[in-house]
Structure 1
Amino acid sequence: MKKLFYGLAYCIILLASCQTEKKDSLEFKNVNQVLTKSFSNLNTLDTFKIELTGRKAADIVLHFTIVSAAGREIFAENLKGKDLVNNTDPNIDLSKEKDQFIYLKTIANDFFAEDNFLEPAVMPEDKADNNAPDKELYEDLKKSGLNGFKYRLGKETNLYIAWDDKEKKVKVYYKCC
């Protein structure tokens, strides 16, 4: 009878400790999204991929790539999670790792929101201003009608990228708030 009591007590303690661990640990689920959109050529589809890797908020990296329809990587950017957390709105409390983790997963999940795909990149009536680092590219995009993509680097920085047909590479054509 004593053995049964001790065995039952051990099982209860083991179950209770497992429940505590579940509450305190962060659930990790890798974010990995792929979709195709017209980007470097209006007649073909390029592949956009976003992947969030890392198990701790401080180590998370958001990998963003674009691969042409021909299979060539035309753009790659690795955004460090700690940089994204440090460049966020100061009114958002991200002092706890759990909140940082949730914030970074939200950024990754929303990365391919429909309004980030700009079709076309530059509207015919738009005028290049001081936020356009390459005015010639801006004007070329207006004429070609190629599409663009925007993504956020922090609370006040959005990068707008598009294919530069002259230089055959992806470039920033607008950088703003």
Structure 2
Amino acid sequence: MKKKIILLVAIVGLAYACKSPKSTEVNPADLVKTATYAFSDTAKLDTFKVAITGKQLSEMKLVFTIHSFNGSEIYKQEVSANELLKSYLASAEMKDDEDKVNFLKEEISYFFDEKHFLEPAVTENETPDKNVPDVTFYNELKKSNLNGFEYRFSKDKSYYIAWSAMEQKVKVYYKCC
């Protein structure tokens, strides 16, 4: 009987020792999403990509890039995962690193939601307001009918971007809450 108890304790101890500690490492494929969309040209598709880089939460960054139809990078923005999380922590229930990583995965999925692709970026009837940083660019978009894209890197601010054919670069045409 004593040998059986010792054997049972040894098996339980071995099983517990072999159990790997909880980790926030994730499969990188879970943290990348791409979409194609007519953006810098009305007919040709550009590639939008959002990814979380880094293996541990403390080193993760959200990186958003756009590559034009000819393959050149035309836009890149990044924010640390910790900065992104800071703006949501007050209202969200994220108790541990696993919850935080799951939240980042949800943000990746939400990033290319259909409502973020704006066709066209600005319509003829729209007028600029206090959230328009560059009225000249805004008016250029009215004439060009190029598409826009809206994204957020915090709970309280959204960025609306579009291609400036005149300046040959992506610019913010609207910033809002």
Fold shared by both chains (TM-score > 0.5)? yes
1:120 has 2:148 as partner: no
Identify which range, 5-14 or 82-91, moves more after superposition.
5-14
Identify which range, 48-57 or 156-165, moves more after superposition.
48-57
> RMSD in angstroms over aligned alpha carbons?
2.4
Whole-angstrom distance in 1 between the partners of 2:146 and 2:67: 16
Specify which of 15, 23, 26 is matched with residue 25 of structure 1: 23
1:168: which partner in 2?
168
CA-to-aligned-CA distance 1:117-148 (integer Å, 9 cap, x gap): 11111122111101000111111111111001
Q: Give ranges in structure 2 of 5+ residues lacking alignment.
A: none
Whole-angstrom distance in 2 between the partners of 1:133 and 1:41: 23
1:131: which partner in 2?
131
Distance 1:18 1:124, change over 3 A: farther
Partner amino acid for 2:14? L
Taking only the aligned residue pairs, the percentage that are identical comes to 39
Whole-angstrom distance in 2 between the partners of 1:7 and 1:123: 76
Partner amino acid for 1:15? A
The number of equivalent residue pairs is 174
Q: Give ranges in structure 1 of 5+ residues lacking alignment.
A: none
Q: TM-score, normalised by structure 2?
A: 0.86
Report the alpha carbon displacement of residue 66 of structure 1 after superposing the two structures with TM.
0.5
Is contact 2:85-2:100 (8 Å) kept? yes
Q: TM-score, normalised by structure 1?
A: 0.86
Whole-angstrom distance in 1 between the partners of 2:83 and 2:116: 21
Report the alpha carbon displacement of residue 10 of structure 1 after superposing the two structures with TM.
4.1
Partner amino acid for 1:105? K
Whole-angstrom distance in 2 between the partners of 1:17 and 1:124: 67
1:82: which partner in 2?
82
1:102: which partner in 2?
102
Q: Secondary structure at the match of 1:154?
A: coil
Identify which range, 161-170 or 78-87, moves more after superposition.
78-87
2:63: which partner in 1?
63
Whole-angstrom distance in 2 between the partners of 1:60 and 1:86: 14
Partner amino acid for 1:26? T
Partner amino acid for 2:64? F
